[in-house]
Structure 1
Amino acid sequence: MADRFVHQNFSDVVATAAALARLEFDGIIPLNDFAIHSAARIARDRTLPGWNEFAERCFISKVAMKRCWIESGLPTPRCTFTTVAKLLAGEFPDWDIWPAVIKPAFSGGGSRGVFIARDWDEAAAGLRQVERTYLDGEIVIEEFIKGSEHTLEVLVCRGNPTLLSISDKENYAGSDTVVQKLFFPGPVGHSYRKKLEPLVFAACRSMQLTDGTAHFEVLIRNGELFLLEVGGRPGGGLNLQPICEISTGYDYPALLATVLSGGSPDFERKRAEHLAWHYFPRGDGILRAVEGFASIKDEPDVVDAELYEEIGKPRFDLRNDLARPGYVLVRSSSIERARERAAKLVAGVRFVTTEAVGSSS
């Protein structure tokens, strides 16, 4: 679809604007967190639809985002803010709610640098291991709430939001931060649609969103809703395409491109199916072989399947969403069938490993 390629580090706003100076285009779409800053600035400079300065700030700083929601009276876990330098120096904020989620104000997404701590000692020790992912040096310390987690895709056109998609998420066993399974449409999330929709729309208004798309993460505990965070771009990986179109009938890329080029989106929907996005289990040692994966992509109900781990290298450690082994995405006429089928395909893949050098049995 692209007819021009520009080799440029797009997290550098000035350099990106210069690299695109001679090119004419009708809209600019940020596809990940690192692109939001440049896309928003360049869109404003060219008077194209996009995020205003206030919205941009909320998207690239969880501190600004949380403050916006708190000041607007929206439900979000209790939190406080500090910096990497202060926490590692033993200068702790007034906070006594444990366990707590320690997360960077900006890391580029993918749960980079996010961990759970049970006291200040654990917070400092954990931060020392991941402090390089805290790219702006600011920290959000947030009350840890156990509940069901959901993602929502919300398209905003001239300030009017439309909810496109709701998913259900399940984390890896033993992990409170890394997702292993996602289901579209999420049956649990959709049972709360009448509450979720006005909540995320209110969050859009509080952040003064005008034109673009927002990827929300929301938690539900005992019927109570909490806004966790939001990205000013589509959900990562396969969310933009093909997950949204298959599971909702909406042509997400076309809708977003229409909004960001100044047009009016047509929300006509195609026939939808159910999807299960299931990541493979983690393992230890050195990966020597993967058995049973090669034939998966040929299965008629498999939309996509991918392996990220490499033969001869250590298994991934699940430190964040970018350290997962790979996945299979399955479509079916019901969510139960999609879930069962994905689980069966995942169980049929065997990761053959040997112990890493120096490890104990």
Structure 2
Amino acid sequence: MSRIMVIAGGTWQVPLIRKAKSMGFEVVNSNLYEDSIGFEYSDFGEVADVKDRETNLKIAKKYQIDGVVTDQSDIAVPTVAFVASQLHLPTIGEKKAELFTDKFKMREFCRTHDFPYPEYKLCQSVSEIADFLKEIGKIIIKPIDAQSSRGVHVIDNIEGIESLFEDARQYSKDGKSVIAERFIQGTEFTIDGIVTEKGHLSLAISQKDHFSYNESIASELFFSNKNPVYDYDLLRRTNNALIDAAKLPFGITHAEYKYENGKFYLIEMAARGGGTKIASDIVPLMSGVDNYAYLLTCVAGESYNDIIELDSSLINRCAVLKFMDIDSKGLPVKAINGVEKIKANPKVVDFGLEFGVGDIVGQADDDRSRVGYYIAYEESEEKLRKLMKEVEETLTIDF
């Protein structure tokens, strides 16, 4: 029996662990906390920070693993590549892992390979950001290699710039650098895909909406295979060409773009699937492709025999990842109503709340502080919008 190591063991890695088990693999899981939920589904659980390469390598050697993988976690990707390289296991390689997790390197890649990119600058001081703001106008600053929108800030004036810079750089690995970019005003999209022997294949596209109080935090990802306003075929071609140019050897991918003046500009790309169960649940729903079976087969060094192609019968299907916006205005939650009825609907794939009775809830500061979500699908946009309305009317909260 082959043994797979999954690095990171939070909620979003559980589907990957369960898939590996269903395929007959033994699973070793490493994560920072002793009560990590991933341990419950694994054969072996070991406590280790996902960013601690040497400790994870020791764990891998202890269990004599046959492959190592992660998903829905940027910060684990370099560790996976390091462990696999040290043990001569299938890997994307440490240089590719760096390219797909370092936002400055992504910008440099787009510039040298002639893909659309916004004006950008690597900054290590407030004065550098202030100069860039004066030159460009509205900008966005980000940590170089963080995740979950931590330390991301949109800036259109000099006020408070020092505190925003300090917040952003604390999440960068080097603790001092941030990337500043021209803020693109266009609509934002996500696109998930898979690297095949014939090249990259884009599988699922979403159009993003954001919370009104923070345009860096997504409130809704609406997935469809066609769009009456935006050219999804152009987005697929752009994304496939970019990933192919990056020469990722295998794996699943997630990328985010903004549309402006007829072009899709890369915001970021990742050598892992989209978070909050986009990779595990939504991609197969929208494409018919078992991306996890392919990924696990590749990291185990085995041959994948199934044909990888989009299911044309799903052309009209739509899915949504909806994040809830609940503000109790300082009052504790008294009762949560309607949850069981929502979960009983077979078209509601997943539903989760990050709070309970007695908690005080408010607006999100980053992706991880959003208070709840649901994933649902239907066979047309009209039907899905109707279902979304039903879900949101069914959930009621007393304070």
TM-score range, shorter chain: 0.7 to 0.9
- Choose from 74, 80, 94 the match for 1:39: 80
Instruction: Show the counterpart of 1:327.
Output: 373
CA gap 1:91/1:278 in 2 versus in 1, 3 angstroms = closer
What pairs with 1:247-262 in structure 2 (closer than 5 Å)?
247-262=286-301
> Contact conserved, 1:50 with 1:260, CA < 8 A, in 2?
yes
What pairs with 1:39-188 in structure 2 (closer than 5 Å)?
39-83=80-124, 86-87=125-126, 90-92=127-129, 94-95=131-132, 96-107=135-146, 109-129=147-167, 131-137=169-175, 138-157=177-196, 160-185=199-224, 187-188=226-227
| SS of corresponding position for 2:266 | strand
> Contact conserved, 1:159 with 1:210, CA < 8 A, in 2?
no
> Contact conserved, 1:102 with 1:123, CA < 8 A, in 2?
no
Bigger mean CA offset, 230-239 vs 159-168? 159-168
Q: Measure how far apart 1:186 and its partner are.
A: 5.2
Instruction: Show the counterpart of 1:285.
Output: 330
The one-letter amino acid of 2:224's match is P
CA gap 1:159/1:135 in 2 versus in 1, 3 angstroms = farther
- Choose from 23, 35, 38 the match for 2:63: 23
Q: Measure how far apart 1:191 and its partner are.
A: 5.0
Distance in 1, matches of 2:110 and 2:229, equals: 23
What percentage of aligned pairs have identical amino acids? 24
Instruction: Show the counterpart of 1:227.
Output: 266
The one-letter amino acid of 1:111's match is S
The one-letter amino acid of 2:289's match is Y
TM-score, with length taken from structure 1: 0.88
Instruction: Show the counterpart of 1:312.
Output: 358
RMSD: 2.3
CA gap 1:130/1:92 in 2 versus in 1, 3 angstroms = closer
> Contact conserved, 2:139 with 2:181, CA < 8 A, in 1?
yes
Distance in 1, matches of 2:366 and 2:199, equals: 33
CA gap 1:153/1:93 in 2 versus in 1, 3 angstroms = same
> Contact conserved, 1:54 with 1:208, CA < 8 A, in 2?
no
The one-letter amino acid of 2:257's match is V
Q: How many residues align?
A: 348
Q: Measure how far apart 1:340 and its partner are.
A: 2.6
Instruction: Show the counterpart of 1:199.
Output: 238
The one-letter amino acid of 2:195's match is V
The one-letter amino acid of 2:235's match is L
Pick 1 or 2: higher relative contact order, CA cutoff 8 A, min separation 6. Answer: 1
| SS of corresponding position for 1:285 | coil
5+ unaligned residues in a row in structure 1: which ranges?
354-361
CA gap 1:149/1:24 in 2 versus in 1, 3 angstroms = same
CA gap 1:154/1:286 in 2 versus in 1, 3 angstroms = same
1:114-158 per-position Cα deviation (integer Å, ceiling 9, x unaligned): 111113334323234555333433211111112221111121246
5+ unaligned residues in a row in structure 2: which ranges?
1-20, 22-26, 28-42
Q: Which runs of 4+ in 1 moved over 4 A?
A: 91-94, 268-271
Distance in 1, matches of 2:228 and 2:50, equals: 34
Bigger mean CA offset, 48-57 vs 258-267? 258-267
Distance in 2, matches of 1:4 and 1:116, equals: 43
Q: Measure how far apart 1:321 and its partner are.
A: 1.0
The one-letter amino acid of 2:116's match is P
CA gap 1:219/1:206 in 2 versus in 1, 3 angstroms = same
| SS of corresponding position for 2:154 | strand
Q: Measure how far apart 1:94 and its partner are.
A: 4.4
